[in-house]
Amino acid sequence: MESLQSLRIIENWPVPTAAAAVVHADGTVLGSHGPVDHRFPLASVTKPLAAYAALVAYEEGAIELDEPAGPEGSTVRHLLAHTSGLAFDEHRVTAPPGQRRLYSNAGFEELGDHIAKATGIPFAAYLAEAVFEPLGMASSSLEGSPAKDGVSTVSDLLRFAAELQQPRLLDVRTVAEATAVVHPGLKGVLPGYGHQSPNDWGLGLEIRDGKAPHWTGAGSSPRTFGHFGQAGTFLWVDPDARAACVALTDRAFGPWAVEAWPPFTDAVLAELRTR
């Protein structure tokens, strides 16, 4: 496949292995670079996949977004939007539901447990049945926590990124709700990037809006949504560019990523504008 030249920038990243690709809103893969079929740990890029499975469960009638889940007073919607009040990595309450944007791995673990109980299916199996199998993501699996233990490839995640842009598994209105701000105006910490006011989030998807600093580019539209992971991974969808980008590496997130990712995204977006 003829690759977008901007994707070759990953060759300069200080990582042992990296792969990246871009998919258009119509599902056309516009370019790829690196070992796109190599299985990488996703870290928190697992969360959008888990959230999508939760939304499938919602559309199937197994759960409701506003039914109780997690700590007292919390709902499925709170867990998805990081407003349940649960701590980052501990199953303890640090704030009332809906009051603060507290990014929480524990919240997604509570979400996975809730869906498993509602469906009678272990969450890893439900995720495979609801998302991986129908999208043909044959190299993807959940090997532990629904917050951070997904494993996948760039090729598989392109299928998911295409789904986010033109949904087949969900009603387009559900995806629109997932990519709109839940509990607007809440402040919070974006891991790796400090306090953001507001720290906008949808249902399992981070929304760029006007955040600064941020892991996407200066040229990314405010409507951009997606997720990055501490494994040195990210997936973003920019509706204004009508495209999505996936980049996976095997080096933990750190200053190298803070420096490298935004200009990479800006280069990709600039090249897309010339096509």
Could you report the per-residue pLDDT of 224-252, keeping only the tens digit for each?
999 999 999 999 999 999 999 999 999 99
pLDDT score for 184:
96
Can you say whether the dihedral through the CA atoms of 96, 98, 100, 106 is positive or negative? positive
Confidence of residue 1 (pLDDT cuts 50, 70, 90): low
Average confidence score pLDDT of the chain = 97
Which pLDDT tens digit goes with each residue over 153-188? Answer: 999 999 999 999 999 999 999 999 999 999 999 999
Residue 239 backbone class (left: φ over 0; alpha: ψ -120 to 50; beta: rest) = alpha
Confidence of residue 3 (pLDDT cuts 50, 70, 90): confident
Q: Which domains does the chain have, with CATH numbers?
A: 5-273 (3.40.710.10)
Which pLDDT tens digit goes with each residue over 4-30? Answer: 999 999 999 999 999 999 999 999 999
Euclidean distance between the first and the last CA atom of the chain, given in angstroms as a whole number: 16
Segment 141-149 shows an average pLDDT of 98
pTM over 0.85: yes
Which pLDDT tens digit goes with each residue over 87-119? Answer: 999 999 999 999 999 999 999 999 999 999 999
Which pLDDT tens digit goes with each residue over 38-88? Answer: 999 999 999 999 999 999 999 999 999 999 999 999 999 999 999 999 999
Question: What 3-state DSSP class applies to 145?
Answer: coil
Residue 200 in this model has a pLDDT that exceeds 80: yes
pLDDT score for 275:
86
Task: Give CA 212 to chain center in angstroms.
Answer: 19
pLDDT score for 94:
96
Residue 115, class by beta-carbon neighbours within 10 Å (0-12 exposed, 13-18 middle, 19+ buried)?
buried
Give kind and range of the element (H or E) at residue 155: helix 154-165
What secondary structure does DSSP assign to 48-93, as a single string?
HHHHHHHHHHHHTTS--TTSB-SSTT-BHHHHHTT-S-B-SSSSSB
Residue 2 in this model has a pLDDT that exceeds 90: no
Segment 244-270 shows an average pLDDT of 98
